[in-house]
Amino acid sequence: MDTPGSAEQMQDDEPKDIAERPQWDNQVQYLLTCIGFTVGLGSVWRFPYLCQTYGGGAFLIPYAIGLVFAGLPLLHIELAIGQRLRMGSIGVWNSISPYMGGLGVASLAVSFLVSLFYNMIIAWILWYLFHSFQSPLPWRDCPINLNHTGYVSECEKASAVNYFWYRETLNITPNIETSGSFQWWLVLCLATAWCLVYICFIRGIETIGKVIYVTVSFPYLVLTIFLIKSLTLPGATDGLIYLFTPDWETLKNPDVWLDACTQIFFSMCLGFGGLIAFSSYSVQKNNCERDALIVGFMNTFTSIYASIPIFAILGFKANENLNKCRNWNILRLTNSFNIGDENITLGNYDDWFNYFNNTDPSEVESLNLKTCNLQTFLDESASGTGLAFIVFTEAVIHMLGSQVWAVLFFIMLFSLGLSSMFGNLEGILTPLLDLNIIPAWIPKEVLTGLICLTSFTVALVFTLGSGNYWLGIFNNYVGSMPLLIIAFFEIISVVYIYGINRFNDDIEWMTGRRPNIYWQATWRFISPLMLLVVFVAYVVVAAEKRPTYNAWNPDYVNFPLADVQPYPEWVYAICVLLSVLPIVSIPLVAFYRFMGFLKKYIMNRNNPNPYQSESFHGEL
Amino acid sequence: MEDVVFLLLCVSSAAAQLCAPDASNGYKVRLSILAALGDEAYLWNDSEMFLFRAALAFAMRTADGQNYDVSNVLVCDETPRVSFWFVVTSPLNPTQLVERRQVEEAVRKSRNRINSAFLLTDKTLEFLGIPPTLAAPAPPSPPPWLIVFGVVMGAAGAGIVLVLVTSVMQKRRKKKEEQTGIDEVEEESRAEENGTASDGVYNLSFSDNDRLTQM
C-alpha cells in the first residue's frame, strides 16, 4: 500500500478518489449514522443497570472520567484517521505502517463475530414485536396443562413472563452441552432480521444514509413518550429516587471503575472499524473534533435520558409487586380467620395483623405470611435481555393499553439495534472493498447479500436450544477483551508509529485548528495508560474465578433460581479461542511483513544489483 | 307433640352430625362478594343461602338424574367471611351422604350456572378442593404472530426486489447514456471535421503557448 505523502500530494489524488468513493449526502447524515452506531441496545439496557448497581448518581463520576480520558480521545482518533486516509480499517492501518495491517484484520474479525450475535438479539426483539399484536399479551397468562386442571407446572413455579421467554421463545436446554434442535420460529425471525438489515445495507452508505433519519430519531421519540407516560405511573418516584440516590461508598470498589470504563468503551463502539469506515466516506475538510464531541455527548445523554423512563417503570413494577404481595397476605389472613372480605385493606393491614398476632400467634405463624419490602422488589434489577424481555414485559402488562406500549418499546429496540448493525456491517464491507480482493464485476448488492447470507448461516447456531448460552459466551468473550487490545494498539500506532506531530498537522489541515493540550495529553499518555490498566484489570478479574453461566433448569432443586454451572472444558477452549482469534492477526501480519522484509534484505545482500550503486546519488 | 319435637331434634342433630367442618364428604365454599362486585355487592342472607342450596340441588339433578331437593343440601359453619361447609344427602336416604367424587363431578359440570346465579367467577366463588375447569386454549388458527411475520417478510421481500430492480435499471441506463455519450462525441468530432467555413476548426498547433517554446 502506498505510504501517505504530504497533504498536497493527497489533494492531487482527491478528484480520482471522489469519482469512485461513495459519499454522504450531507454532514447531518454522517453524524446521525455515527450517533446511531454508538447509541445502541447497551444504552437502554446496560447503563441503567450499572447505574443502579453501582450507587446511582455516584456512578456518573467514574463514567464521566472514563469518557473524558479514554472514550473521547479514541473516538476523535478513529474519526480523524478515517477522514484523513479515506479508507476502511484495513487500508488505514496498512497505510500507517505495513506491520500494523493486522489491526484492520482484527477489527474486521470482531465486527463479523459481533454482527452474528447482535442480529440474533434483533431477531428476539422481532419475535416479541410480532407477539405484541395480540390481546391479551401472550406473556400475561400461563398456558393450561394437558388435563385442564391447572397451569403448566414450570410456568407456575417461575412466572408467566419467565416461562414465555425461556420456554416459548428460546425453548432453552438445561445446560450448554445439550444442544437441542433448531427452533424453527427463531430461524424465521432471524431470517426476517437479516432481510430487513439487507434492505437497508444493500448499497452501503447510499441506502443506510436514507434509512438512518428514521432509525435514529424514532428511539428518541419513543423514549420521550415513555418518559411522559412512566412519570404518571404510581411508584415511579420510588424507582427514580432509587436510581439517582448516590451511594458514595461504592466508589471505593475497583469494580465500579472497571465497569464504568468498559461500559464507556464498548458503548462507543471503538475498535470495530465501523467509525473509521463511516468517516472515510466523509469530506476531508470536516471538523472531526466537533464530530467526536457531539457523538460522545449524544451517547452519554441518551444513556442518561433512557434510564429515567426505565427506572420509573421499574419503580412502578416494584410497586405493583409490593401490592400483590401485601394483598396475598391480606387474603391469607381473611381466609384463615374468616372475617368479611375487604375488611382488611392496605391501609389498616397493620392494625388487623397486630390484633391477630396478639389473639392467636400460633395461627398467624402457620400462615407463613410473606415479608413485603419495597426495597427487595426494587433490587430485582436486570440488565440485557432480562431487562427487556422479562422485567419490562411484566411491567407493560399492568399498564393500560399494553399492546401499544409493547409495540412502541420493541420497535424502539429494533431501531436502536438496526442502526448499530449498520456500523458493524460497514466495518466488514468497507475493508473488504478496500482490500481489492473482490473482483470488480461483482456488484455491491451481491456482495452485501453474500455477507448477510453467510452471517445468517453461521448465526443459525444461536437458534439452537442452547443458543442463548452461546450468545452469552460471544457477548462476553468477543465483545470485550479483543476490543481493548485493538484500541490500545490503535492509539499506539497513531501516536508513536504514524507520529503525533504528523497527526496534528493532518488535523490542522482538515479542521483549521491544531488539537489543544487536552487532546495532546490524553493521546500521548493518559489514554494508552488507562487502556493498559483497564485491560490488565479485566484479565485479572476474569482469570480469578472459573467462568460460570446461569442455566435455566426446571429440574433444579431451587428452580426458578438460576442454576449456576461452570463451563465444560471444550466450551472454555472455545471461549479462549474467540478472544484470541481476532487479535492473533496483529502479531501474525507483523511477523509476515517482517519475514518479507528479511527476505528482501538477505536477497539484496547476496545478489547485489550492479545497477543499484550507492555511491552515485541524485543527478540522474 | 313431644314426638314431633323429638323427631325434629333427632333430624337436626343428625343433620348436624352429617354436616360438620372437615366432613369427609363435604366441601368448603368461600365467597368473595365484595371483591367481585364492589359497590353492587348484595348482602349475604338466608335467601341467598337458599339460592345456593337450590343451585346445588339443580347441579346434582343434572349430573345424577335423581330428584334432589333443597332439603338434601345441608349447610353448616357459616362465617362472616361468607364461607361455609356443605354436604349432600341422597334423596332416597336422608341419612346417607352422597360420595365426595359425585358431588365434585356435579359441581364441575354445572359450575358455570352456579357462578352465574351469584354473579361470581371461579375465583370469587371457591369450592375448596374442586379445581376449576379452565377454559380450553383457543384453537391455533394461523397464530397472530405468523400473520404479522408474513406481512413484514412480504414487505421486506418486496423492498429487496424493488431495490435490486431499480439498481439494475440504473446500471442499464448509465451504460446506455455512456454509449450515446460516446456516439455524440464521435458525431461532434465528425461535425467539427466537416465544419462550415464560418465555424472553422481550432488548430492547436498555432496556439499561444509561449511558456513551452522559446523561439
According to DSSP, the β-strands at A548-551 and B83-88 are unpaired
- Of A484, A579, A496, nearest in space to A100 by CA: A496
| Mean pLDDT lowest among A117-131, A255-269, A517-531 | A255-269
Contacts of A150 in chain B (CB under 8 A): 131, 134
Q: Residues 443..472 of A with a Cβ closer than 8 Å to B: which?
A: 443, 445
Tell me, yes or no, whether B76 and B178 share the same domain.
no
Instruction: For A49-76, give one letter per residue: b (16+ CB within 10 A) or e.
Output: bbbbbbbbebbbbbbebbbebbbbbbbb
Assigned C-alpha cell, A204: 452501503
pLDDT band at B191; cut points 50, 70, 90: low
Best B34, B85, B149, B153 member to test A by mutation, with max A CBs in 10 Å, is B149
The verdict on residue B200 lying in a domain is no
C-alpha cell at A576: 479462549
Determine contact: B162 vs chain A, CB below 8 A: no
Distance CA B101, CA A570 (A): 56
Confidence tier at B140 by pLDDT (50, 70, 90): low
B124 and B60 share a domain?
yes
DSSP A389: I
Residues B124 and B176 both lie in one domain:
no
Closest CA to A92 of A556, A486, A524, A381: A486
B31 three-class SS: strand
Same domain, B117 and B64: yes
Q: Which three cell numbers stand for residue A75?
A: 473516538
Nearest CA in chain B to A446: B164
Q: Which helix (H) or strand (E) holds A205?
A: helix A205-231
A149 close contact with B: CB closer than 8 A: yes
Here the ipTM equals 0.80
Q: How many CB atoms within 10 Å of residue A350?
A: 10
User: Which is nearest to A100 in space by CA: A458, A492, A479?
Assistant: A492
Question: Both B102 and B183 in a single domain?
Answer: no
Q: Domain tally for chain B?
A: 2
Q: What is the pLDDT of residues A156-173, one digit of tens each?
A: 888 899 999 999 999 999
Is residue B182 located within the same domain as residue B153? yes
Asked if residue B124 belongs to a domain, the reply is yes
A95 against A14, higher pLDDT = A95
- Residue A518: the pLDDT is 93
Say if CB A238 and CB A318 are below 8 A apart. Answer: yes
Single out the residue in B80, B97, B128 at which a domain terminates: B128
For B160, which of A189, A199, A339 is closest by C-beta distance? A199
Cis peptide before A136 (omega within 30 of 0): yes
Write the DSSP symbol of residue B97. B
Helices (H), A399-443: 402-435
Per-residue pLDDT tens for B34-43?
Answer: 888 888 888 8
Weakest mean pLDDT among A7-16, A403-412, B144-153? A7-16
Residue A188 has pLDDT above 90, yes or no: yes
Angle at A273 between CA A272 and CA A274, to 5 degrees: 90
- pLDDT on residue A491: 92
Are the CB atoms for A79 and A287 separated by under 8 Å? Answer: no
- Cβ contacts from A onto B, under 8 A: 83
Give backbone dihedrals phi and psi of A541, rounded to 5 degrees, phi first.
-65, -40
Packing angle between helix A500-511 and helix A7-20, nearest 10 degrees?
Answer: 60
What is the least distance, in Å, from the CA of A345 to any CA of chain B?
A: 11
Which among A144, A189, A341 has CB closest to B35? A341
Q: Given A127, A130, A338, which is nearest B79 (Cβ)?
A: A338
**Structural domain of B183:** 144-191
Q: Chain B partners of A207 at a C-beta cutoff of 8 Å?
A: 163
pLDDT (mean) for A297-316: 91
Predicted pLDDT of residue A434: 83
What's the pTM? Answer: 0.84
Residues B180 and B150 in one domain: yes
A454 closest CA partner among A125, A164, A115, A200: A115
Cβ–Cβ below 8 Å for B152 and A203 = no
B153 falls within a domain:
yes
* In the predicted structure, residue A400 carries a pLDDT above the cut 50: yes
Helix (H, G, I), strand (E, B) or coil at B74: strand
**pLDDT above 60: residue A6:** no
Q: Is the pLDDT of residue A182 over 60?
A: yes
pLDDT, one tens digit per residue, over B81-134 is: 888 888 888 888 888 888 888 888 888 888 888 888 888 888 888 888 887 777
- Answer whether residue B208 is part of any domain: no
Confirm whether B39 is domain-assigned.
yes
Bridge partners of A549, per DSSP, are A565
CA dihedral A487, A280, A194, A484 (to 10 degrees): 0
Per DSSP, the residues of A539-592 read HHHHHHS--EEEE--TTSTTTTS-EEEEPPHHHHHHHHHHHHHHHTHHHHHHHH
pLDDT at residue A14 in the model:
44
Residue whose C-alpha is closest to residue A222's, from A36, A417, A31, A405? A405
Instruction: Convert the pLDDT of each residue in A350-373 to its tens digit.
Output: 888 888 888 888 888 888 888 888
B20 or A487, higher pLDDT:
A487
**pLDDT at site A15:** 42
Among B73, B83, B91, B92, residue whose Cα is nearest residue B18: B73
Distance CA B215, CA B205 (A): 15
Q: Does B139 touch chain A (CB under 8 A)?
A: no
Q: Which residues contact A287 (CB under 8 A, 6 or more apart)?
A: A510, A511, A512
- pLDDT at residue B18 in the model: 74
Cβ-based contacts of A129 with chain B (< 8 Å): 148
Is residue B50 included in any domain, yes or no?
yes
Q: B170 with B82, same domain? A: no
Rounded to the nearest integer, the mean pLDDT of chain B is 80
For residue B155, is it within any domain?
A: yes
The answer to whether A130 touches B148, Cβ cutoff 8 Å, is yes
pLDDT band (50, 70, 90) for residue A84: very high
Is A39 within any annotated ligand binding site? yes
Instruction: Quote the CA–CA distance of A381 and A216 in Å, as a whole number.
Output: 27
Query: Within a domain: residue B122?
Result: yes
Q: pLDDT tens across A549-571, in order? A: 888 888 888 777 788 889 999 99
Q: Are B38 and B114 in a shared domain?
A: yes
Residue A2: pLDDT above 60? Answer: no
pLDDT surpassing 60 at residue A60:
yes
What average pLDDT does the segment A141-149 reach? 81
Q: Are residues B54 and B100 in the same domain?
A: yes
A340 vs B: CB within 8 A: yes
Task: Give the pLDDT of residue B182.
Answer: 76
Q: What is the pLDDT of residue A618?
A: 54
Say yes or no: A134 contacts chain B, CB-CB below 8 A: yes
Q: Reply yes or no: is the peptide bond before residue A431 cis, omega within 30 of 0.
A: no
Judge if B118 and B153 occupy the same domain. no
Q: What is the pLDDT of residue B6?
A: 62
d(CA A231, CA A149): 40
Quick check: B28 and B128 in contact, CB under 8 A?
yes
Residue at a domain's end among B128, B153, B170: B128
- Nearest by CB to residue A192, choosing from B32, B83, B149, is B149
pLDDT at residue number A8: 42
One domain for residues B72 and B159? no
